[in-house]
Structure 1
Amino acid sequence: MEIAPVSTVSLPPTDYKAVPRGNTQINVNREVLRYLLERSGLGPASRALDAPCGKGEFLAVLRRCWPGATLAACDLLPEGPPVPGLRYQQTDLTQPFDLSEGQPFDLVTSISGVMMFGNTRNFVASCAAQLRPGGVLIMTNDNILAMRDRVSYLLLGRVRHFPLLFDTDENMPQLVQQQELKRLFEVNDVELQEVIYTALYPKDWLFMPLALLLYPVQWLYLRRLPHGTSQKLRHQMFGLSSLLKRHYIFIGRKRAG
């Protein structure tokens, strides 16, 4: 997918419709920014890391909203995006990495990142290790639980974004399920607090009849499943939205101690 150039248009913090899509699904950057500005408790002087950062569309918006923030970023690209004051480091994110310079971050974001490379376990561990206690970890990924993906798997043996045969230069090789990403959060002392589904396209409404048939069965199964996960979080992770919308956002906080 071709990545649009970073916008230079001034953005009022509440003008979420002007948030650029970037190299992800529709509304993902918008919903991440909405959470940061309205509910995260973080402020304009926060220390934030974005990994991988791509062309920097999200960071450019965050800089306009938080002009005093300390922003760091990393990716495989040799040069970082043109975001004022950004500290950039070319990094192989399949290996352990640390850009904190001894000062933990208040926020670490990874937007549509975990599907782009392997070794997700090391990646989540590195992100969590750079957070201060109480810091926010946000990771987003394409949703493979939607009805469109389930039908595709039933008929073709594949979910939509992952072909049956990979090319040697495949840029999206890593299938990461929601339950596995939640487990990796918990293993690294990050409490998953909120799950948001977004990116609903007009054609996805065609799967609503199937979703309405499946959801009561899934809901009953989840209600009875013995597990320590709260019913509220179960509903957020596997609610009706998970059967229709194409992308999810995980929001967690680093535990103290």
Structure 2
Amino acid sequence: MSESNKTTGVNMAGGLTSGPKIQNMTEVAAILAVAIVIIGGAEFLLRFFEVKEFVMPTPSAIVTALFEHSGEIAPHLGYTLVELAVGYTIGASIGMILAAVITQFPFVEKIITPYILLLVTTPMLALVPLLILNFGFGYAPRIIAVALAAGPMVMINSATGFRRVDQDKIALARSYGATTFQIFTKIRVPMAMPMIIVGLMMGAIFSVITAIGAEMSGGGFGLGSKLTTFSSTLRTAEFFAVILILAIMGICIYVFFSWLGKKLAGWES
């Protein structure tokens, strides 16, 4: 890595970047100062103009609602996490398997590609009412929707990574008698890891969006359901408290996959 990249800490693992690293406490103080100005400014302006809480609550009211109603919100967070864990695991696993198959067997790719494109271009939320009609208001329709949202994202990015392998490396491996399976596991998978991680991250983000949308369509449980309840009853502070939880979930997803990219694909930097 060049000296300039070491300084800025840029991680080019498949497009995932950690951005410039914090170098000293001055930068930490600057980041905190900006946050204080934004949050404090919003608090001041909302109070100064006496904006009604049901229109736009103050940041302090949102944080207060988050803690005061944590007992009401926490169980629904658990329901959402279950849907995400099961649906994402199923979708990502199928996506990885399909990516491996279509890159090894071009004929299979020709058969399933139209259906994959159909899944990618079709908003999964549009299918939720149909899934609810067939599977009821329980976990099943939400898990299916999440799996359908995550799978294509993982498959497309993983397949792209598998195809970007240096053919000279594969030819050299074959000349030493490596089998197709050995080439795939020892060369294709490690070299494709940056794109695989990008696909996993995109799949996770789409999973959260789909899960919340599916919960808002009906069922009476999950964070999406609470969003619908809070908005319809003008409990705006609680509504934004749930939004804050979802924002934190999204940040956690990004941070986790950025860390994973450094661990598994840091060599590309």
User: Normalized against structure 2, the TM-score is what?
Assistant: 0.20
Q: Higher helix fraction: Structure 1 or Structure 2?
A: 2
Higher relative contact order (Cα pairs below 8 Å, separated by 6+ residues): 2
